[in-house]
């Protein structure tokens, strides 16, 4: 079975709607994990008054707009990131579908599903680290195992994955040891290993480079705007997620562009 090039608008509309629905679920999942509430225990609830939401309050984006961004009962504001996660997940799904299915004339379905699953995991890492400055070990373990399985099935080099994991994981581990955990946390070390398994060697180096560049740009912008201090903690998992996602979709193009500059 193969997935062929498609420019069918209905196909991308369905992908967009599925992304909205999943984004709504990810919002709930991230909040429940942080609050230590069983993920499958009951329906969605207001994070303030804990009232269970009616079905019509769970419609992604639309419910938030109809309710004017506030809980119907306690009137507390719905966290702003909820709507951005829903829309962001939907747009990321469409982008992954477009780039994957249009990169070549024919694409094995496993590549499309791999990139969708990788994107979901990166969204979770991005949100959780941005909100709570923590990278969940469970997510990294699931991502590492999934990435290893997908890449072995697709015939990627085992040695390349192992070298990537050792280089990226070792790079963060060395910083962790030298700084005694002040510069980065253990979650960054584990995420480095996952990135190496996903991207392999030497693509993981590009992901690290893009992560540091994006982190520096955003960090300096926030400091210049007075919203952060130079000593403020940086949720680096968010930038590692951005760098990894960029390489998954555009790694070959970026490397091609860079090699052309050297000619």
* 7-21, 43-57, 84-98: range with lowest mean pLDDT: 43-57
Mean pLDDT for the stretch of residues 85-90: 93
The answer, yes or no, to whether residue 54 has pLDDT greater than 70, is no
pLDDT at 203 over 70: yes
How many H helices and E strands in the chain? 9, 2
The larger pLDDT score, comparing residue 80 to residue 193, is at 193
Residue 168's pLDDT band, with cuts at 50, 70 and 90, is: very high
Q: Count other C-beta atoms under 10 Å from residue 253's C-beta.
A: 12
Q: 117: closest CA among 76, 81, 153, 168?
A: 153
Block residue for tokens 């707009």? 65
pLDDT tens for 124-159 read 999 999 999 899 999 999 999 999 999 999 889 999
Q: Is the pLDDT of residue 220 over 80?
A: no
Handedness of CA 93, 94, 98, 101 (dihedral sign): positive
d(CA 104, CA 142): 29
Q: Which two tokens stand for residue 159?
A: 């040695």
**CA 83 → CA 54, 69, 226, distances in Å?**
18, 9, 25
Given a cut of 80, whether residue 226 has pLDDT beyond it is: no
Q: Which of 184, 198, 213, 205 is nearest to 248 (CA)?
A: 198
Q: Which of 195, 180, 202 is nearest to 244 (CA)?
A: 195
Q: Residue 258 above 70 pLDDT? A: no
The one-character DSSP state at 45 is: B
Cα 181–Cα 186–Cα 188 angle in degrees, nearest 5: 105
pLDDT at residue 1 in the model: 47
pLDDT recorded at residue 198: 95
pLDDT at 71: 72
Query: Which two structure tokens, joined as six digits, stand for 106?
Result: 């024919």
Q: What is the average pLDDT score of the chain? A: 83
| Structure confidence by residue, pLDDT tens digits, 2-33 | 455 456 788 889 999 999 999 988 988 888 88
Whether pLDDT at 175 is above 50? yes
Q: How far does the chain reach from its first CA to its final CA, in angstroms? A: 40
Q: Give the residue among 252, 248, 126, 249 at the shortest CA–CA distance from 191.
A: 126
For the chain, list the strands marked E by DSSP.
3-4, 106-107
pLDDT of 231 strictly over 70: no
Rounded to whole angstroms, what are the CA distances from 65 to 58, 69, 105, 168?
Answer: 11, 6, 40, 42
Q: What is the pLDDT of residue 169?
A: 94
pLDDT score at 235 = 83
Percent of the chain exceeding pLDDT 70 equals: 84
């Amino acid at each position: 079975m193969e997935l062929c090039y498609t420019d069918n608008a209905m196909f991308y509309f369905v992908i967009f709607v599925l992304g909205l629905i999943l984004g709504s679920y990810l919002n709930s999942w991230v909040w429940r994990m942080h609050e230590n509430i069983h993920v499958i225990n009951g329906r969605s609830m207001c994070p303030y008054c804990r009232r269970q939401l009616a079905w019509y309050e769970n419609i992604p984006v639309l419910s938030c707009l109809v309710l004017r961004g506030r809980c119907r009962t306690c009137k507390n504001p719905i966290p702003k990131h909820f709507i951005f996660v829903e829309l962001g997940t939907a747009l990321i799904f469409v982008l992954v579908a477009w780039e994957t299915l249009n990169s070549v004339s024919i694409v094995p379905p496993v590549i499309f599903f791999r990139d969708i699953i990788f994107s979901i995991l990166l969204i979770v890492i991005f949100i959780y680290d941005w909100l709570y400055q923590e990278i969940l070990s469970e997510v990294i373990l699931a991502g590492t195992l999934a990435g290893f399985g997908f890449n072995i099935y697709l015939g990627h080099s085992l040695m390349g994955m192992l070298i990537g994991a050792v280089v990226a994981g070792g790079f963060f581990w060395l910083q962790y040891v030298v700084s005694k955990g002040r510069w980065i946390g253990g979650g960054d070390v584990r995420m480095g290993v996952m990135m190496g398994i996903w991207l392999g060697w030497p693509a993981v180096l590009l992901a690290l480079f893009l992560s540091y560049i994006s982190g520096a740009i955003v960090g300096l912008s926030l400091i210049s705007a007075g919203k952060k201090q130079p000593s403020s903690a940086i949720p680096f998992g968010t930038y590692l997620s951005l760098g990894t996602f960029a390489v998954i979709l555009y790694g070959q193009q970026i490397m091609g562009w860079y090699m052309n500059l050297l000619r």
